Amino acid sequence: MNKIPFILFLLITAVGYSQHDQEFEPTFYSEIAERVAPRNYYSVKFGNPAEVIVNDTIFLANSETWIEKNIYSFKSGREMLVKKYRDNELIADEIIELDSNNRILNYEGNLKYEGGKWYITKVKYQYQENKKIKEKINDSGETYLRYTVKYDSLKNPIEIEHTIVGPDHTRLQTVNYDYPNSKFILMDFNYQGRLEEEIKGNINSDYVLEKNENGDITKLYWILTDKTEPFIHEIDYEYDEKGNWIKLIKNVISPDGTKKPYYRTYREIKYKN
């Protein structure tokens, strides 16, 4: 039984935050990161945005730094046009349809990969009670990959199915939680149904330590940290006149008290009225 080092987890979640995130398959770690620290920076609490420009600097665990810029332009209805840049180079051109909760329903992206080649990716989502279904669509409009995520009452993932549509080969990731003792066991099964890996870790339901007057989290245990040796996230905000944040600074404090930058995010919000 393995344990995942926290510093490796930071690298994993940073990869999950990458600008080609629709290409990645959901995992226990990406689902936890999305719930605790969502990167839906296009979403605002107040006002009706016409455009949101996000400049983001991400400090990875391997000492690499990513500088990213995303431009979200809101069109009629719930359609959003997105341009994404890394180090001033255009790497993605996207069309996204959102639902009434600002969740992605339909996604189409023209994505640039290493070597300069561009590929079209199409994704559809369905949301049900305690369930999310993500489907990747081919050029003929048919589903070729399906990911089904099931959640418990605390909205933590308990089962993730990865299905190759057609032959319907499925591999499975399951998670069992012991909330009173702040533990989980993650099990990965391959397409033949055999257990490939079992990981034991920590999970803290009471991870939020402080919030500000706007209701935003300013201090938290990372939800998967060991509280006897906690990694703590500290978050500072600045807000515009409508009450939406325009500056977000996050640092990570290790158990020995060392503070390191995690990311710096700035938003310019242009409103319709």
Q: What confidence tens digit (pLDDT) does each residue in 89-130 have?
A: 999 999 999 999 999 999 999 999 888 899 999 999 999 999
Pair of tokens at residue 59: 């400090």
Amino acid at 236: D
pTM comes to 0.88
What is the maximal distance between C-alpha atoms in the chain?
Answer: 56
> Are 9 and 29 spatial neighbours (Cβ–Cβ below 8 Å)?
yes
Is the per-residue pLDDT at 17 higher than 80?
no
| pLDDT band at residue 19 under the 50/70/90 scheme | low
pLDDT computed for residue 129 by the predictor: 95
Triad 87, 88, 92: Cα angle to 5°: 95
pLDDT computed for residue 114 by the predictor: 81
Mean pLDDT, the chain, as a whole number?
Answer: 90
Is the per-residue pLDDT at 4 higher than 80?
no
> Are 150 and 163 spatial neighbours (Cβ–Cβ below 8 Å)?
no
Pair of tokens at residue 233: 């996230």
| pLDDT band at residue 62 under the 50/70/90 scheme | low
- Distance, in Å, from the CA atom of 213 to the CA atom of 18, rounded to the nearest integer, reads 30
DSSP letter string over 8-24? HHHHHHHHHTSTTGGGS
| pLDDT band at residue 83 under the 50/70/90 scheme | very high
Could you report the per-residue pLDDT of 146-199, keeping only the tens digit for each?
Answer: 999 999 999 999 999 999 999 999 999 999 999 999 999 999 999 999 999 999
Q: What is the mean pLDDT of residues 221-241?
A: 92
Q: What is the mean pLDDT of residues 61-76?
A: 85
- Distance, in Å, from the CA atom of 35 to the CA atom of 252, rounded to the nearest integer, reads 18
Pair of tokens at residue 199: 């990981």
